[in-house]
Amino acid sequence: MNKVIATIVCLFIVTACSPHAMIAPANQDIKVPTTNAAKNVILIIGDGMDDHQITIARNYLVGARGRMTLDTLPHRSIAQVLTVADTSAGEVVYVPDSANTATSMATGKVINRGRIGTTAGSDEDIASIVELAAKAGIRTGLVSTASVTDATPASFYAHISLRACENPSTMQNAILYGFLPVDCSPDLKANGGRGSIAEQLIDSQLDVALGGGMKHFQFNAEGGSQPLLDRAEQADFAVITSIDQLHTADMDKRWLGLFSPSTMPVRLRGENGRIAESPKPGADGAVIKPAPMSCEPEPKFAGVPDLRLLTDKALARLNHNNQRGFFLMIESASIDKQSHQRKPCGSIGEVEQLNEALDSALEFAEKNPQTLIIVTADHGQAAQLIPEVSIFDAYNVPINSPGKLARIRTSENALLVVNYATNDFMQAEHTGVTVPVLTNQQGVGRVPSMILQPELFNIMTDYLRL
């Protein structure tokens, strides 16, 4: 974004979060609530976690008659996702991406796909719940299994026209993945903008940012020779890169935890790394389906902090000597990313990680009752649970899926067939389905049974009295 909002300055929040500023400084920008009761909001986002993803995970993890923690939350709603084209007219678009949906939740505004925290067509910054909370002296944190600069977390603190501009190297005449041109030059600091997403994270008011994305902080800051990691330390961040460091990190510093170069490894994978595959033609018009497979631990996951641990630690840090409450967003990012790659075991493991993060949040809320927990998804994803035996089996003709499918053995001795058939590209598409919204008891009376996704922003800011 090429217009600086002067009222939000990095210096303020660094001061507010320094060891000697447990109580918010007497700054005239800070809204003092009328009661002293600290309130907390924990927003847990399963990226791409629509009801199909949850059903597939439930059947695999606990069986068709089982219940995950998220199934036991007392209150349920759905959110209609909203997207517009990148024009001033704001034409309706029915299928979103994570950038525009996370911006809906973070700011209450509807924007176009690919954009972060700025208006469609006019590229104006939109204040986020993180900024409003910090302004009110309320702490803020983000946890993600993606890079902390990826679209979902970025939407809570950054303002930029393209989600791809995650670090200084991507800002001008960049080519991503060998062929994808990316340019955010109007957002360069030199041009009056806020710089790349990684730079905006360092300049943000965040108290905690834990996830992947180390590679984005190894570039030099725009126009300088200083790596962003050094800049982060100057901005009072403790840079944390291992589980050990996470256990011993300074509770009076801001935390920047970077546990992998980009997206963090996932928990599960298909047997021997198998993913969904195309059925093959057999003799006499028959169809040879992919062989059944099991899910197995993903070896790369070993040694990586899981989402439960990151959540436990983020909650402890945010709640430490805190009289004013906090906002924490937790994202299980690779439900979506694994579904794009047609890896159902991967998505299942990441729903399980989300469910464990929810366990952590619920344990926290047990001790801190003024805590609103919301579990939701940003958008739908491609995976569909289709029959192992066609419902038209009695017709006795070969019946095939035109997509790619995986037949997963479950512990109840059945086959769970996951189909990806939204496109023939190397990555599956999102869908435009409504997404689930679940809350703890604090959400009852606050979240109607159906909402528009941007209304989550109002529900959360009202709860925090922002």
Tokens representing residue 253 in the block? 């510093």
Q: Which residue in 179, 272, 283, 285 binds its own copies (CB under 8 A)?
A: 179
Question: Which residues are paired to 83 by β-bridges?
Answer: 93
Which tokens belong to 414?
Answer: 């059945």
Q: Is 104 in the site for its own copies (CB under 8 A)?
A: no
Active site residue 98: yes
| Shortest CB 14 distance to its own copies, Å | 36
Query: Which CB atom, from 50 or from 131, has the smaller least distance to its own copies?
Result: 50
Is 432 one of the binding residues for its own copies (CB under 8 A)?
Answer: yes
Q: Are 338 and 347 within 8 A, CB to CB?
A: yes
19 binds its own copies (CB under 8 A): no
- Is 86 or 298 the residue whose CB approaches its own copies more closely? 86
Q: For the CB of residue 312, give the shortest distance to its own copies in the complex, in Å.
A: 25
Choose among 78, 113, 114, 116: nearest CA to 93: 113
Is 80 a residue that touches its own copies (CB under 8 A)?
yes
How far is CA 298 from its chain centroid? 21
Q: Which residue stretch of 61-69, 192-200, 293-301, 360-368 sits at the interface with its own copies (rule: CB under 8 A)?
A: 61-69
> Both tokens of residue 29?
């920008």
- Classify the phi-psi angles of 183: left when phi > 0, otherwise alpha if psi is within -120 to 50, otherwise beta: beta
> Which of the residues 113 through 132 are near its own copies (CB under 8 A)?
113
In angstroms, what is the minimal distance from the CB of 174 to its own copies? 13
In angstroms, what is the minimal distance from the CB of 55 to its own copies? 5
Question: Is 399 among the residues that bind its own copies (CB under 8 A)?
Answer: yes
Q: Is 58 in the site for its own copies (CB under 8 A)?
A: yes
**450-452, strands of its sheet edge to edge:** 237-240, 254-258, 208-212, 139-147, 326-332, 40-46, 371-377, 435-439, 75-80, 450-452
- For residues 466 and 460, what is the distance between their CA atoms, to the nearest angstrom? 9
Judged by CB under 8 A, which of 197, 318, 416, 459 binds its own copies? 416
| Three-state DSSP string of 100-163 | HHHHHHHHCCCCCCCCECECCCCCCECCCHHHHHHHCCCEEEEEEEEECCCHHHHCCCCCECCC
Q: Residues 36 to 55: which contact its own copies by CB under 8 A?
A: 50-52, 54-55
Nearer to its own copies, 279 or 305 (CB): 279
Q: Does 263 bind its own copies (CB under 8 A)?
A: no
The residue within the footprint of its own copies, chosen from 26, 65, 283, 299 (CB under 8 A), is 65
105 — phi, psi (to 5°)? -70, -35
Which one of 64, 175, 190, 251 is in contact with its own copies (CB under 8 A)? 64
* Short-list 239, 233, 209, CA closest to 221: 233
The least distance separating its own copies from the CB of residue 21, rounded to whole angstroms, comes to 41
Q: Minimal distance in Å, beta carbon 389 to its own copies? A: 8
Torsions phi, psi for 440 (to 5 deg): -80, -175
Cβ proximity to its own copies: between 202 and 406 the closer is: 406
Q: Which of residues 356-395 bind its own copies (CB under 8 A)?
A: 380, 382, 384-392, 394-395
Catalytic residue among 18, 77, 88, 98: 98
Active site residues: 98
